[in-house]
Amino acid sequence: MIELDGKVALVTGGSRGIGRAIALRLATQGADVAFTYRGNAAAAAAALGEIEALGRRGLAVQADAADGTSAETAVKSVLDALGKVDILVNNAGITRDDLIMRMSADAWNDVIDTNLSGAFWMTKAVTRPMLKARSGRIINITSVSGQAGQTGQANYSAAKAGLIGLTKATARELASRGITVNAVAPGFVLTELTQDLPEALQAQITERTPLGRFGTPEEIAQAVAFLASDDAAYITGQVLAVDGGLVMM
């Protein structure tokens, strides 16, 4: 049984999809949970209500992951409201898919700024309080696209691959203070976006996946909860693939 009693977690992009599943899983395991959201106030309010219904303290913070100042403000809000940050989950991300020859500068920059730089800014913001506490868990949500590449996703694949490098570098820097840094690499997961994929494409994906199905947000969340727990205290700098065997490395 994973126990996170007394811990405070911060999940970026926690109002919907995988981020919401992570926030709820951490709350279920005993943590108080803050999360950031970009603009959907209704989804944020619903997620916050679910966290509080589990008997945990919750906090929803509107923030733009691509803005370094916003990250500092978000972390300060969590420290003021909940007292500390034991667990950071860098989940916030966007896609702007296109072939390289057609990809605009804005499409490239938006994805890199949100998916990669956003994780850097948030990690930087929690580093000081975690160093002071001499403990902490940082979990970055990367992707099979960052491990194997994906046609039409040069920006997304580059950002997610960069996130793996950031994970390993940060793990080396912070290990001496008892802070672990790991990544979870989801495969194809059933969310609001993937449910709308054409049936033929869904069939291709399941055929390529050895376990023969999509994953669920809850399966990703369970892996994050493990890495956030004391059970994973001797694991750092690793990438845990939760992809049904899609990418075997």
Q: Is 190 exposed, middle or buried (0-12, 13-18, 19+ CB in 10 A)?
A: middle
Residues of the chain with pLDDT under 50: none
Q: Report the catalytic residues.
A: 156
Q: pLDDT at position 204, please? A: 86
Q: pLDDT at position 143, please? A: 93
Q: pLDDT at position 28, please? A: 97
What is the model's pTM? 0.95
Q: Is 112 exposed, middle or buried (0-12, 13-18, 19+ CB in 10 A)?
A: middle
Q: pLDDT at position 249, please? A: 65
65: Cα separation from own chain's centroid: 12
Residue 121's DSSP bridge partners are: none
Roughly what angle, to the nearest 10 degrees, separates helices 118-133 and 68-82?
40
For 89-122, the pLDDT digits (tens) are: 999 999 999 999 999 999 999 999 999 999 999 9
Token pair in block for residue 223 = 């892996």
Q: pLDDT at position 193, please? A: 63
Spatial distance between the Cα atoms of 144 and 240, rounded to a whole number of angstroms: 10
Spatial distance between the Cα atoms of 121 and 245, rounded to a whole number of angstroms: 31
Dihedral sign of CA atoms 174, 64, 96, 106 in order: negative
